[in-house]
């Protein structure tokens, strides 16, 4: 498929004039720095100080650039409006920054929008988003959506799809810039560029959308929330061991073991100070082994608490009661699973998914505190202010 006519972005920039050559929106430099560069009001060629202490020259009065690995420096002529993202981590960040939801995600059913049901004046449903990666990643959908920015890690796409560098270049030049990083796990061999914490990545997206005030408000809310929770945690010797396992059915016989390592997916468990029973038992996680374990192996580790999740978000959309009456009930009647301490003590819980931004992280950290430390955190106690979250999202800062 060839697109030889002027693109929408060319018309936006040049007022409909037909021009050859590259497009400033989405052009990238070789910089591997970490700053944001915004032009001042002195006109074309203005120089500004970026957040990492260096200088950069912008191409027009209103343009600005943001730098993030692995792409480097990305220049924006105007603040993006329409966007897509790879997963719910970035989508959740955008909602926190007061943006419209992305037009599409790789697989929307892994975006846990049910969390917003508890936040006033926030109405987002994953079912309304386009699925961009079914059996393959569709380039046609990128053209049809015409997003102002595409938030995903290009190295992920090159490593996990049939796309080549030429495909990425085509989208960047003909549709809009690519900007993002796979932050949810730090276990991929292909990810040899810089990782970012949840709030480092969140700050980068805030710079893209020119919403740094909202970012700072969320950062303060988060830091105060985590501080209050951690002050109430029991001593390390009294904290439970946990096992995070992914299953693919309501009656599982084997599991994919997951770690509690670096990456945004496991942030709440690290913040809540737990240890991995699987790691202590010498059981290799899925990222290392690529395989599954069975109940006999799980009994050897015998975690105090079992945290279960599935790759399609079904458990997260279940009520606690339904989860209890399906998967937990099956394990209680299983000859081997019933020997697990977590099953005997009714400590098998929904373990959340692997994609979380700032809003979802607040909710999952709160729920994790309820699950892990019921003697300290009562389920009727709200550990963060929902109205404050809604106020930030809606600009009432």
Residue 173: how many other CB atoms lie within 10 Å? 18
Does 99 map to a domain?
no
Q: Show the domain range for 345.
A: 234-383
* Arithmetic mean of pLDDT, 141-153: 97
The Cα–Cα gap between 2 and 348 comes to 53
Does 310 map to a domain?
yes
Mean pLDDT across the chain:
85
218-259 pLDDT, tens digit per residue, is 999 999 999 999 999 999 999 999 999 999 888 999 999 988
- CATH assignment at residue 341: 3.40.50.1980
Over 70: is that where the pLDDT of 14 sits? no
Number of Cα atoms under 13 Å in the Cβ half of residue 91: 29
> Higher-confidence residue: 111 or 188?
111
The Cα–Cα gap between 188 and 156 comes to 10
The answer to whether residues 309 and 316 touch, using CB atoms and an 8 Å cutoff, is yes
Pairing type for strands 293-294 and 149-151 reads unpaired
Does 369 map to a domain?
yes
Alpha helix locations (H) across 259-385? 267-271, 277-280, 286-289, 295-301, 314-317, 320-323, 329-332, 341-344, 358-372
pLDDT band at 382 (very low <50, low <70, confident <90, very high): very high
- Residues whose CB is less than 8 angstroms from the CB of residue 16 and which lie 6 or more positions away in sequence, other chains included: 6
Does 205 map to a domain?
no
Tokens of 52: 């990492």
The Cα–Cα gap between 270 and 282 comes to 19
Over 70: is that where the pLDDT of 102 sits? yes
Does 172 map to a domain?
no
User: Three-state DSSP class for 133?
Assistant: strand
The Cα–Cα gap between 390 and 346 comes to 34
| pLDDT score recorded for residue 262 | 82
Does 82 map to a domain?
no
Radius of gyration of the chain (CA): 23
Over 60: is that where the pLDDT of 322 sits? yes
| pLDDT score recorded for residue 189 | 85
| pLDDT score recorded for residue 60 | 62
- Residues whose CB is less than 8 angstroms from the CB of residue 250 and which lie 6 or more positions away in sequence, other chains included: 326, 327, 330
Find the angle CA(390)-CA(396)-CA(397) to the nearest 5 degrees: 100
Does 65 map to a domain?
no
| pLDDT score recorded for residue 43 | 31
Does 60 map to a domain?
no
38-85 pLDDT, tens digit per residue, is 333 333 222 222 333 332 334 567 899 999 999 999 999 999 999 999
The Cα–Cα gap between 376 and 16 comes to 63
Phi, psi of 183, rounded to the nearest 5 degrees? -105, -5
| pLDDT score recorded for residue 26 | 32
**Quick one: what percent of the chain has pLDDT higher than 70?**
85
Residue 25: how many other CB atoms lie within 10 Å? 24
Number of domains in the chain: 1
């Amino acid at each position: 498929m060839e697109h030889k006519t002027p693109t929408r972005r060319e018309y936006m920039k040049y007022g409909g004039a037909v021009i050859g050559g590259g497009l400033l929106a989405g052009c990238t430099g070789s910089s591997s720095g970490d700053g944001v560069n915004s032009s001042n009001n002195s006109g074309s060629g203005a120089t500004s100080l970026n957040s990492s202490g260096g200088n950069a020259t912008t191409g027009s009065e209103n343009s600005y650039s943001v730098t993030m690995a692995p792409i480097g420096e990305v220049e924006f002529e105007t603040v993006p409006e329409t966007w897509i993202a790879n997963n719910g981590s970035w989508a959740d960040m955008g909602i926190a920054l007061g943006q419209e939801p992305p037009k599409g995600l790789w697989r929307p059913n892994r975006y846990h929008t049910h969390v917003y049901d508890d936040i006033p004046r926030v109405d987002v449903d994953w079912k309304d988003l386009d699925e961009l990666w079914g059996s393959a990643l569709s380039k046609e959908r990128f053209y049809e959506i015409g997003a102002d920015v595409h938030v995903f890690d290009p190295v992920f796409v090159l490593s996990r799809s049939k796309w080549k560098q030429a495909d990425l270049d085509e989208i960047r030049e003909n549709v809009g810039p690519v900007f993002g990083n796979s932050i949810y796990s730090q276990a991929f061999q292909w990810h040899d560029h810089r990782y970012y914490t949840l709030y480092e990545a969140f700050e980068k997206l805030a710079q893209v959308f020119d919403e740094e005030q909202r970012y700072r408000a969320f950062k303060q809310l988060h830091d105060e929330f985590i501080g209050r929770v951690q002050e109430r945690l029991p001593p390390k010797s009294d904290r439970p061991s946990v096992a995070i396992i992914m299953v693919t059915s309501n009656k599982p016989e084997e599991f994919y073991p997951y770690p509690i390592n670096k990456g945004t997916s496991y942030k709440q468990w690290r913040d809540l100070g737990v240890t991995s029973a699987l790691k202590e038992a010498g059981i290799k996680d899925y990222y290392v082994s690529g395989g599954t374990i069975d109940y006999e192996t799980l009994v050897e580790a015998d975690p105090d608490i079992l945290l279960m999740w599935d790759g399609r978000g079904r458990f997260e959309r279940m009520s606690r009661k339904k989860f209890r009456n399906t998967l937990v009930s099956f394990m209680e009647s299983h000859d081997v699973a019933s020997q697990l301490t977590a099953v005997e003590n009714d400590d098998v819980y929904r373990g959340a998914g692997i994609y979380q931004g700032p809003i979802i992280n607040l909710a999952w950290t709160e729920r994790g505190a309820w699950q892990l430390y019921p003697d300290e955190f009562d389920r009727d106690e709200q550990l963060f202010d929902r109205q404050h979250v809604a106020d930030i999202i809606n600009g009432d800062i």
